[in-house]
Amino acid sequence: MTAVSCAALLFDCDGVLVDSEASVTSAWTRWARELGLDPDAVMATVHGRRAVDTVALHVEQARRAEAVAMIDAFELAEVGATTAIPGAAELLASLPPDRWATVTSGKRDLATARLRAAGLPVPRALVTAGDVASGKPHPEGYLAGARLLGVDASRCAVFEDVPVGVRAGRSAGAGVVVGVGGRAFGGDRPDVVVPDLRAVRWTGEGLELAAGIG
């Protein structure tokens, strides 16, 4: 077991609390085909980014608003395929409501719909794409999440599943960054990696992790 001292937990949503991989792939593949784009090239830019930032990589400025509205509609239509990451419900149930927040690159309606579809609570402290000027890997989202909880970021544990999120957590000055799942992190190694949230236990003063050191 790895013991981690922290006062609050900041969770990414997709890939950390909920498994939305099938719905994300379906929605963005449909979107790419509608616009005559290569779905594989688009999917390589999706994870960890706000939709508006991904769209900006592929669509000229004059068409971006329409393209963002299209992917928003496609993603909401697919939320029924969302499930909870193993251990997420149990971990969240063990946490005081003022000790955790979700910081996601998704929009508020999409994030809440996915959490509810997965049977998970919507947190009191929720930072979404529309709440920040800059998406991940910028630290703004995680700094905002810590601020909502009234805890310095250095006393928070950040849970992420993608490199841009790990960079955001580190840039925010998080005390520890926990990687979740089997996605490759490359050079952006978390401090600790767990297969899913069954390996995480809240002690009241921090975390116990059945994990490997990054």
Enzyme catalytic residues: 12, 14
DSSP strand pairing (192-194 vs 212-213): antiparallel
**Alpha-carbon separation of residue 134 from 11, 53, 127, 130 (angstroms):** 18, 9, 12, 9
Tokens representing residue 94 in the block: 């063990």
The backbone torsions φ and ψ at residue 202, rounded to the nearest 5 degrees and listed phi first, read: -85, 130
Pair 21, 71: CB distance under 8 Å: no
User: Which residues lie below 8 Å from residue 26, measured CB to CB, with a gap of 6+?
Assistant: 78, 81
